[in-house]
Structure 1
Amino acid sequence: MLDFGRLVTAMVTPFNQDQEIDLKETKKLVDHLIATGTEAIVVAGTTGESPTLTKDEKLLLFEKVLEFANGRAKVIAGTGTNNTKTSIELTKAAEQIGVDGVMLVAPYYNKPSQEGLYNHFKAIAAETKLPIMIYNIPGRTGVNIQAKTLIELSKIDNIVSVKEASGDLTQMGEIIKNTADDFYLYSGDDKLTLPVLSIGGYGIVSVASHLVGDQMKDMINSYLKGNNSLAASIHLDLLEFFEAIFVAPNPAPIKYLLNNNGFNVGSVRLPLVTVTDEQSNYLNQVYQKIMDRN
């Protein structure tokens, strides 16, 4: 089984002033993420503003991030949509490009049943040899992939992990307990990284790691080495930051902070809007606290 690593970053998509993809800044960001502990990069996920990216833009990003990473980190392509046929086509195209895996979000808006969810993911898995990370985020999709459904999906050979952003530790525990040891559950919420590790989760698909990757890697490694008090201390130091970067719809807050700290990733595309003055002041204050401690 391919190991995506413990610290995975759901990367923002850098845009220039015309809101077109900025490849120069994308390379700079990829280099930065890898240098600060990221082991795999999710491209064109929610944080990458996938709903506003065209198919051609996604394929360009898959190709270029793979080139920029150059084997230093795994590349996971966000190929899931709420259209099974479209998801299969995009997954096949990503496989041709050579990505290391794909992430498939639960179909949004059309609210399929649990049977529909199972058959959606099963159909895509049958059309690719790539390892698949399923992405459960009910707050955005309007549907929860229940533990029972996920457990059944885990029995499909190339469905190897799940990004769980339900926030439900009981559901996550049920999945961990009833899936094979080589099926990995990742937290989809930065603030739950340590709690999820403590119940047997494998890692985090992170937004915060854009700017605090080193600290998150230290927290994960401290926990794995049995230094729970240090891991807890780092978790508590970062907790306000984890909350702050969701003060407005993701990725507007993290893009604001990146722009303010040497990365010209541009604004978000409509229908998202940039943070307000009040929100930006709050973000700056919280981030400065972290910088002052390090």
Structure 2
Amino acid sequence: MKKVFFVGFGNLLTAMVTPFDANNQVDFAKTTKLIEYLLANGSEGLVVGGTTGESPTLTTDEKIALFKHTVKVVNNRVPVIAGSGSNSTQASITLTKAAEKSGADGIMLVAPYYNKPNQEGLYRHFAAIAGETALPVMLYNIPGRSAVKISAEIIIRLSQIDNIVSVKEASGDLDLAADVIEHTADNFSVYSGEDSITLPLLSLGADGVVSVVSHIAGNDMSEMLKAYQSGDVARAASIHRKLLPVMKGMFAQPSPVPVKTALNMNGIDVGDVRLPLLAMTDSEKEILKNLIQR
């Protein structure tokens, strides 16, 4: 594979939901409208087909169609990162190759879930996939969903592979993040995978966030990042505190149920969620509505 030339994904990336129609099929017209809305409201990159995009319930064909559609609509305005990871190394390689063919700017590889590999197994899984693509790779460390944590040592080892350039860190382990930032090259980027710890991670040297709350507060998240980067830490902290209840509200129910509900409330029609996720009850919607309005 040719050596990757990586110039970065941006600071505020949105883990994009997947819009569905009334029959719970992927709705590409709604997807186009959502993409334009996100790009007009602070998003500097889009992650497609990830957890927030309900990847466990998307078929391979649906994922590839989403990659192609998003790349076409975005038209090189921001990076498009395709969620091509799974708990099958070979299946991940196949989907990664399809993502590369679709024109995606990078791929995101989640830690293999359910089969619970050891750390050396994690290393070989990610290295095998990275070796089959020229695209830049973002690792995704989320033990709360995958049941395995990628250790700092393994992330640091993986960062020495040319096209493994980034990690979405959602373990909640600030010590791990600090260790990775300290012992990887300056051009290896670390992103918060949880909105609520973005500012603490920035203070450790992280580069930005792969955000969910940016669906409804993108400009606020962008302002927080820019304030911190410009040295106005007090302003960044003030915005963080203001957004914190909304950040928590986006995960009061299994994600992406709250954020899809919030988008629909705000006039951005993204449809419902697929089973086994369930729509919010009327009382839950009322709580969310009051939270967003405040």
CA deviation profile, 1:135-177 (whole Å, cap 9, x unmatched): 0000000000011111101110000000000011111111111
CA distance in 2, matches of 1:18, 1:25: 14
Which of 76, 91, 94 lines up with 2:99 in the alignment? 94
CA distance in 1, matches of 2:262, 2:143: 26
Once the two structures are TM-superposed, the CA of residue 13 in structure 1 deviates from its matched residue by 0.1
Find out whether 1:279 has 2:271 as its counterpart: no
Find out whether 1:72 has 2:77 as its counterpart: yes
CA distance in 2, matches of 1:128, 1:161: 15
Give SS of 2:26's match.
coil
Which of 46, 52, 60 lines up with 1:47 in the alignment? 52
Letter of the structure 2 residue corresponding to residue 288 of structure 1: Q
Give SS of 2:114's match.
coil
Correspondences of 1:184-203 after superposition (within 5 Å): 184-203=189-208
Matched length = 289
Once the two structures are TM-superposed, the CA of residue 133 in structure 1 deviates from its matched residue by 0.2
Give SS of 2:46's match.
strand
Once the two structures are TM-superposed, the CA of residue 53 in structure 1 deviates from its matched residue by 0.3
Find out whether 1:158 has 2:171 as its counterpart: no
Query: In percent, how many aligned pairs have the same letter?
Result: 55
Letter of the structure 1 residue corresponding to residue 42 of structure 2: G
CA distance in 1, matches of 2:173, 2:198: 13
Give SS of 1:263's match.
coil
CA distance in 1, matches of 2:187, 2:280: 40
Letter of the structure 2 residue corresponding to residue 240 of structure 1: P
Letter of the structure 2 residue corresponding to residue 3 of structure 1: G
Find out whether 1:146 has 2:151 as its counterpart: yes
Once the two structures are TM-superposed, the CA of residue 40 in structure 1 deviates from its matched residue by 0.7
CA distance in 2, matches of 1:101, 1:168: 25
CA distance in 1, matches of 2:42, 2:268: 17
Once the two structures are TM-superposed, the CA of residue 97 in structure 1 deviates from its matched residue by 1.2
Q: Say if 1:186 and 1:203, in contact at 8 Å, map to a contact too.
A: yes
Report what 1:230 is aligned to.
235
CA distance in 2, matches of 1:241, 1:264: 20
CA distance in 2, matches of 1:69, 1:5: 15
Letter of the structure 1 residue corresponding to residue 170 of structure 2: A
Find out whether 1:267 has 2:262 as its counterpart: no
Which of 116, 120, 124 lines up with 1:115 in the alignment? 120
Report what 1:288 is aligned to.
293
Q: Say if 1:125 and 1:158, in contact at 8 Å, map to a contact too.
A: yes
| TM-score scaled by length of structure 1 | 0.97
Letter of the structure 2 residue corresponding to residue 68 of structure 1: V
Q: Which structure 2 segments of 5+ residues have no match? A: 1-5
Which of 126, 147, 153 lines up with 2:131 in the alignment? 126
Correspondences of 1:164-179 after superposition (within 5 Å): 164-179=169-184
CA distance in 1, matches of 2:7, 2:80: 12
Q: Which structure 1 segments of 5+ residues have no match? A: 290-294
Report what 1:84 is aligned to.
89
Letter of the structure 2 residue corresponding to residue 88 of structure 1: I
Give SS of 2:112's match.
coil
Once the two structures are TM-superposed, the CA of residue 277 in structure 1 deviates from its matched residue by 2.4
Which of 135, 140, 143 lines up with 1:135 in the alignment? 140
Report what 2:219 is aligned to.
214
Letter of the structure 2 residue corresponding to residue 52 of structure 1: T
Give SS of 2:115's match.
coil
Give SS of 1:21's match.
coil
| TM-score scaled by length of structure 2 | 0.97
Q: Say if 1:247 and 1:279, in contact at 8 Å, map to a contact too.
A: no
Report what 1:258 is aligned to.
263
